[in-house]
Structure 1
Amino acid sequence: MFMASSICRTLVSNIVLHPITRLNPSSFGRIKCQPVRSMSSELSQRIFQLRFNPLTGNSEWVVIEESEEENSPKALLSSTSYLDMLNDSPRNRAFCKAIEKTVIKPCHVLDIGSGTGLLSMMAARAMDSSDAKHYTGSKGILSACESYLPMVKLMRKVLRINNMEKKIRIFHKRSDELKVGHDLASRANILLVESTFLWKLHDLYNNEAKALDNVHLVPAELERILRVKPQQYAMHCDAIAEEIRLLSDPFKVFEFDFSKRPESHGQTELHIKATSDGRVHAIVSWWVLQLDYEGTIFYSTAPRWINLPFNCEDLQTQSHNWCDHWKQCVWFIPGIGILVSKDEQVDFQAVHNDISISYNLKHGDSKLEQGYPDFHTRGCQLILSPERIAIYGDREWRYDMLRAVMNALQKKVSPLCVVADDSVFLTILLANLSPSSNIISVFPGLQEKGAQYLQAVADANGFSINRVNVLGKRPTCLTTDDTDQKKVDLLIGEPFYYGNEGKLPWENLRFWKERTMLDKVLSKDVLIMPCKGILKGCAMSLPDLWRSRRALEIIEGFDHSVVNTTLGACGDLPVSQGPSLPYFIWQCGEIKELSEAFTIMEFDFSKPISLSFGKTKVGFTEAGICHGFVLWIDWILDVDHSIVLSTGPKHRYWKQGVKLLSKPVAVGNHGSSGIGDCSFTEIEASFNPSDGELIIRHDFL
């Protein structure tokens, strides 16, 4: 694995103050509701918000008014990185020192992407300091620019509670909409490796070569027809420290000087010396931020196993303070990677535009072109997430699917099969195993792209595309006219819904909802796969994750307690109202299981979707501090319960749902717990079929 760091040189005589996460293009991935258009006037402001129903796949427009009170953490802000960022003490200290060092006299400070207004308040306090007051006859100006209305409303509360509302003027606009002379009286003076695991995340062609199911998702000569998008992928690389082998020393890729107008395009070419023999599977990169003009205050997002080559009086890093809003970036090398020898020179090329950075390696006479499909795959290429690519290349997963589908087909003659989700794998597997079957693939997300892909790979997989009908619309639209008046004999799914990856596990119960919508076209003896979903859980110690989500109090001297409810912080909400959030648990810093996996409730897909309840008593098997419960779905593929696909924390390709406690609780082994330690907990859950919401309650015993 090669390592690279991008130096972000922030010269504070002309810098833009903004949350660090603005520099990370992967930091916006978890927000569920996207503002599309805003309308404003002098009296009121509002935005249209797109709200997604995970069970139906439908979206609806809602209007958010500036005058409305919004305290529900579930809808808007609890799944963003704001709370995690505000809990990042090294970041806050670094910015505070840099601002105090820069704002030494009255000036015009513009804070772009101001969030809660923390950096604006730091600048206001610095401007009110004794040194700044020596400059008589001049008055400082503080302008905060924030385009997201729910955040503007929250910032007003924070400024009010800190008596700053009269010192900072808020603009509910994008920064490129601000005009000097209209909004602003004047221009601003200060503008605030080698790794088998990584290989599995992108190389499906070689990883499926030894599968036993005779399905070729990536046939020979069509290696790029199903692949990951060539882009930077965010990952906590500390979590795979034991699995990677470094093949180079860290090297600087780009240096961005914010004292100058930024270039919209740039590129660099470097000669990188390999430090070991091995195969380059990926390039890992991170940011080093210089926050002051003299170069004494830095903030680095490097992984812990990197020795940073900087001599400065204050280097703040997140290496000993896990936080989720800063991850490293992983760029995958196509195929099986590049074989290098120690001391060999590899040509490295990096290109950036306004919003992204891409890499290329040249080795010998060959250059790896990443951005363009082969001639034969144009128009039919599918781009999937790294985790989905890894799942499709996993031999154990494929073998379980093969067994389940073979068992389901045994008692069926010329069956009508419906693939209810976006599974190209199950579509090809059905066509391969049952030459007499007729297949309807719903493909609600892939739609026409899925149909074009199937047509391109049909010959290599030995089936006629005439036997497969891609519906390309929601299951509610499926009628007996689409099935030639036949009833469905086999309804299957993984479940997998394209574009909905990385969500809470129970959002895939959309399969149950859609099975219900198809009830009229199902035969009496229809086989449904999976036949059940089981909500599982585990009590865990999650100190790093809990710390990043804890309730805020005073941050660098400013009261932020007013934001806790809206951001869904631990401690300020009744447990049942606290958000459940999706995480790759294996990337959440320090973790420890405190109980065996337990079953909370079952969802029976042989029956229509319904209100569901579950309750269980759990004994702790390890002593420790419990920070919350990790939740996932186990999919039961067959009626004998012999084939189970788990999406729990031991399986790294799926996110789990996390329900954090208001306060950590000391627990002990139920067989030998200490005095005062809790030995058991009672978990109760309810599932609402109308909106897909899962309510979790607990009681320590």
Structure 2
Amino acid sequence: MEDSNNFLENIGDIDGEQDIARSAYADMLHDIERNEKYEKAIAKVISQMKNKGISVNVLDIGTGTGLLSMMAAKHGADSIVACEAFTPVAECAVKVIEDNGYSASIKVIPKRSTDLIVGNDLPKKANLVVAELYDTELIGEGAILSYNHARKELLEEDFLSVPSRARIYAQLVECPLARSWNRPFSIEVTKNDSIMPPPEAEICSGAPAVHDIQMSQLLSESFTAITDPAEVFCFDWLSPCTPSTGHNVTNLKTIAPGSVNAVFFWWTTDMDPEGEIILSCAPVWAHPDAKKGLLPWRDHWMQAVYYLPNDVCASEIGVELVLEAFHDEYSLWFRLGERHHNNSPIAVKETRPICNCLLHLAYSRPRLGLLNDKTRQNKYINALKRYLFPGATVLSLGDGSWLSLIAAKLGATVIAIETNPMCRRVIESYSESNGLQNNLTILSGSIDKFSERSFDKKINFVIAEPFFEDSVLPWDHLYFWMEIKKIKSFLDPGMKVLPSRVKIKGLGVRFHDLHKIQTPIVETCGFSMKQFDDLIQEAIDSIDETIEPHPLWEYPCTALTDIVNILELSFALDDKSSHSNLTDVEVTATDEINGVVIWCEWFLDDDIVISTGPRSPTNKGEVIHWDLHSKQGCHFLRNINNINSWSRLQFLAMENDCEISIEINRI
């Protein structure tokens, strides 16, 4: 068996390294409640079987680090076969098991459970299956298929399972924020003139996939619960077979009036056959342990939003709604109706929603929310009204930006460069349905593909959000300025650029939980995870950037330093120099700092600023409220136990032709 530091040599490509880096240096093994409840249930079931004189033969499906197998061995299982399809992790599991002294008890097979053969991989059928096959949607990782195959081919008829069953709960809500993530809003350019979504977008059901979020981070005032949560599915892993498709009807009574536009849903699981040990993924307002202050943090299992194709109005309390839930082997969807007084349901579409307008395929949920943000939108409109002049020729850069439509609506002659084909088709449909074709020309591809014939006259106005689908970190959107520099010969010397400049800012924080995705496990439930830590650390060092993008509105953190200006750039054509800046911020030993957050502020004017960072003033020692539609750059400080040995965070930022590099050091 090779050492863990040689595993990566056998993966063969970057994708393999990424899979390892992401495989568990997230929070799953930091989830103490998950681990403890698995062990409690495994110990209970094995004890029950032993008390009945039954020999316990365990099958561990998708063993990962081998944790569940080691729990079974610790509590007296007679034989254990663990399978893991991802070979490097299967090899690591062998080392973890060896480190913990269970090599003689556990056989690890680098295969999918559906490829196992009794008499070859397993000496005989197992009578206890332990597995963690869930995702946020519960069944998205193939739990139904895996359990059904195991029942038929790998397990005795009277087998037991940890977990034993799972339940999905749904709640009907009115949530304007969620609506903004799924429906395009009209754009009020002037008091009497708006840009309307194309008809096909207004009636589109939206993307069929659910939207997983950290639902507990939604502000209570951001939604209204129209009904209480209700169980809509129960998957019994102890039954002879779980149907690959399912349909359930639940009658719900409204507890508040409102317009239902979304279904919030989550799951719980009975860890033991009696249902005495329950693990819940409910959000804070529905979690059984919330009042005890025991709500765990998880990123591997979150909650999800399902967007309804049409709003359903419940005008008063006590209205009965009919929620229908459906599933196939990998996904869930819902439909909603209201009962007439004669108790018959209102007719609704029975087919699963599919996007037919392209907008939901071209734009992510956060991107659509960004475009629908009226406060942000009005800042752009006000800036354009302030600076656009009659006869202006405007160049619009960015993927799927509505700024080109707004400028055209205000009477400018607009040339929009669209690098993303689907975004281009969406903007074309908006232009056609709003009669903007005479003012708006949409060109496909990158800007350097166009000759002077593409432009009838000099461009005297450039607009950008800026936003590009391929951008990862906030400052990657500076790509728009690189593109402008390629066409200097087409630009009027007095050209106006919106935004006119950018500030890159940062501060030191204490992440409440997010840092766990880069924190070594060390041990859990008394089992050493050193081999796994070594494997993951090598993969992270090999593939990961030092700054990662995360939507921090979902991941609370507390400000521990002042905000600092890391770098400032002015978008002036005559500025040919590179830029650099060295700045630092004081840190005290009591700060418990574990990370740095970096974001951009785009200046449309001195008094009109678009920020991708905090959405309210930030004070030391207080939780930061981040922009809801952006990702911030996060740097996790490793080995912070020796905080007394450093007193400053130092930011070294350099820009060369819009390529930004930021180095963070502890001094």
Give the TM interval when normalised to the shorter protein.
0.7 to 0.9
Contact 2:508 2:595 in 1 (8 A): yes
Cα distance change of structure 1 residues 235 and 391 upon mapping to structure 2, 3 Å threshold: same
**Percent same amino acid among aligned pairs?**
25
1:122 is aligned to 2:101:
no
Q: CA shift at 1:517, angstroms?
A: 5.7
Matches within 5 A, 1:165-564: 168-180=106-118, 183-184=121-122, 186-192=124-130, 193-205=173-185, 208=187, 214-219=193-198, 222-224=201-203, 228-243=206-221, 244-259=223-238, 260-306=240-286, 308=288, 320-334=295-309, 338-364=313-339, 366-367=346-347, 369=349, 371-372=352-353, 384-406=363-385, 409-410=388-389, 413=391, 415=393, 417=395, 419-435=396-412, 437-442=413-418, 444-445=419-420, 447=421, 449-464=422-437, 467-471=440-444, 473-476=445-448, 478-480=449-451, 483=454, 489-498=460-469, 500=470, 503-515=472-484, 526-546=495-515, 549-564=518-533
**Distance in structure 2 (CA, Å) of the matches to 1:228 and 1:326:** 24
**Structure 2 unaligned blocks of 5 or more:** 1-8, 131-172, 341-345, 616-626
1:469 aligned partner, one-letter code: I
1:645 aligned partner, one-letter code: I
**Distance in structure 2 (CA, Å) of the matches to 1:585 and 1:164:** 40
Cα distance change of structure 1 residues 368 and 627 upon mapping to structure 2, 3 Å threshold: farther
Q: CA shift at 1:80, angstroms?
A: 5.4
Contact 1:633 1:646 in 2 (8 A): yes
Q: CA shift at 1:657, angstroms?
A: 2.1
**Distance in structure 1 (CA, Å) of the matches to 2:268 and 2:306:** 18
Give the aligned partner of residue 39 of structure 1.
none
Q: CA shift at 1:552, angstroms?
A: 1.7
Cα distance change of structure 1 residues 547 and 83 upon mapping to structure 2, 3 Å threshold: closer
Q: 3-state SS of the aligned residue for 2:406?
A: helix
**Distance in structure 2 (CA, Å) of the matches to 1:203 and 1:270:** 26
- CA-to-aligned-CA distance 1:422-456 (integer Å, 9 cap, x gap): 12402212322345x251422x33x0x33433343
Contact 1:158 1:562 in 2 (8 A): yes
Q: 3-state SS of the aligned residue for 2:275?
A: coil
Contact 2:189 2:195 in 1 (8 A): no
Give the aligned partner of residue 563 of structure 2.
597
- Alignment RMSD (CA, Å): 4.2
Moved more, 211-220 or 453-462: 211-220
Matches within 5 A, 1:599-618: 599-606=565-572, 613-618=580-585
Cα distance change of structure 1 residues 125 and 246 upon mapping to structure 2, 3 Å threshold: same
**Distance in structure 2 (CA, Å) of the matches to 1:240 and 1:371:** 27
Cα distance change of structure 1 residues 153 and 342 upon mapping to structure 2, 3 Å threshold: same
**Distance in structure 2 (CA, Å) of the matches to 1:305 and 1:661:** 32
Give the aligned partner of residue 87 of structure 1.
30
**Distance in structure 1 (CA, Å) of the matches to 2:111 and 2:489:** 50
Give the aligned partner of residue 20 of structure 1.
none
Q: CA shift at 1:648, angstroms?
A: 0.5
**Distance in structure 2 (CA, Å) of the matches to 1:474 and 1:175:** 47
**Distance in structure 1 (CA, Å) of the matches to 2:547 and 2:607:** 30
Cα distance change of structure 1 residues 415 and 301 upon mapping to structure 2, 3 Å threshold: same
**Structure 1 unaligned blocks of 5 or more:** 1-43, 51-63, 65-69, 134-139, 310-314, 668-675
TM-score by length of 2: 0.75
Give the aligned partner of residue 634 of structure 1.
601
Give the aligned partner of residue 160 of structure 2.
none
Q: 3-state SS of the aligned residue for 1:324?
A: coil
**Distance in structure 2 (CA, Å) of the matches to 1:157 and 1:237:** 37
Contact 2:207 2:360 in 1 (8 A): no
Cα distance change of structure 1 residues 112 and 258 upon mapping to structure 2, 3 Å threshold: same
Contact 1:274 1:340 in 2 (8 A): no
Equivalenced residue count is: 590
Q: 3-state SS of the aligned residue for 1:439?
A: strand
Q: CA shift at 1:485, angstroms?
A: 8.4
Contact 1:538 1:596 in 2 (8 A): yes
Cα distance change of structure 1 residues 609 and 426 upon mapping to structure 2, 3 Å threshold: farther
1:421 aligned partner, one-letter code: G
Q: 3-state SS of the aligned residue for 1:116?
A: coil
**Distance in structure 1 (CA, Å) of the matches to 2:520 and 2:398:** 39
Q: 3-state SS of the aligned residue for 1:428?
A: helix
Q: 3-state SS of the aligned residue for 1:305?
A: helix
Contact 2:184 2:372 in 1 (8 A): yes
**Distance in structure 1 (CA, Å) of the matches to 2:563 and 2:426:** 39
Q: CA shift at 1:258, angstroms?
A: 1.6
Q: 3-state SS of the aligned residue for 2:336?
A: strand
**Distance in structure 2 (CA, Å) of the matches to 1:183 and 1:612:** 61
Q: CA shift at 1:388, angstroms?
A: 2.2
Q: CA shift at 1:683, angstroms?
A: 2.4
Contact 2:261 2:307 in 1 (8 A): yes
Q: CA shift at 1:646, angstroms?
A: 0.2
1:112 is aligned to 2:61:
yes
Cα distance change of structure 1 residues 188 and 420 upon mapping to structure 2, 3 Å threshold: farther
Give the aligned partner of residue 24 of structure 1.
none
Cα distance change of structure 1 residues 432 and 185 upon mapping to structure 2, 3 Å threshold: farther
Higher relative contact order (CA 8 A, sep 6+): 1
- CA-to-aligned-CA distance 1:543-573 (integer Å, 9 cap, x gap): 333356433211112111333355459xx98
Cα distance change of structure 1 residues 380 and 114 upon mapping to structure 2, 3 Å threshold: same
- CA-to-aligned-CA distance 1:200-250 (integer Å, 9 cap, x gap): 3334336x468759452515675136x852432112222225324333222
Q: CA shift at 1:348, angstroms?
A: 0.7
Match of 1:662 among 635, 638, 658: 638
Contact 1:533 1:602 in 2 (8 A): yes
Q: CA shift at 1:195, angstroms?
A: 3.5
Contact 1:626 1:666 in 2 (8 A): no
Moved more, 247-256 or 513-522: 513-522
Match of 2:548 among 566, 581, 600: 581
Q: CA shift at 1:336, angstroms?
A: 5.4
Cα distance change of structure 1 residues 231 and 609 upon mapping to structure 2, 3 Å threshold: farther
TM-score by length of 1: 0.72
Moved more, 114-123 or 349-358: 114-123
Give the aligned partner of residue 613 of structure 2.
648
Q: CA shift at 1:154, angstroms?
A: 4.2
**Distance in structure 1 (CA, Å) of the matches to 2:363 and 2:499:** 22
Contact 2:509 2:593 in 1 (8 A): yes
2:441 aligned partner, one-letter code: V
**Distance in structure 1 (CA, Å) of the matches to 2:458 and 2:44:** 74
- CA-to-aligned-CA distance 1:621-641 (integer Å, 9 cap, x gap): 99853332221111233xx54
Contact 1:512 1:609 in 2 (8 A): no
Cα distance change of structure 1 residues 97 and 521 upon mapping to structure 2, 3 Å threshold: farther
Q: CA shift at 1:346, angstroms?
A: 0.6
- CA-to-aligned-CA distance 1:170-213 (integer Å, 9 cap, x gap): 4444444445566555554433234343333334336x468759
1:146 aligned partner, one-letter code: A
Cα distance change of structure 1 residues 282 and 158 upon mapping to structure 2, 3 Å threshold: same
- CA-to-aligned-CA distance 1:256-307 (integer Å, 9 cap, x gap): 1123333221010111011233333432211111122222222111122225
Match of 2:81 among 118, 142, 154: 142
Structure (1/2) with the larger helix percentage: 2
Give the aligned partner of residue 26 of structure 1.
none
Contact 1:180 1:186 in 2 (8 A): yes
1:345 aligned partner, one-letter code: E
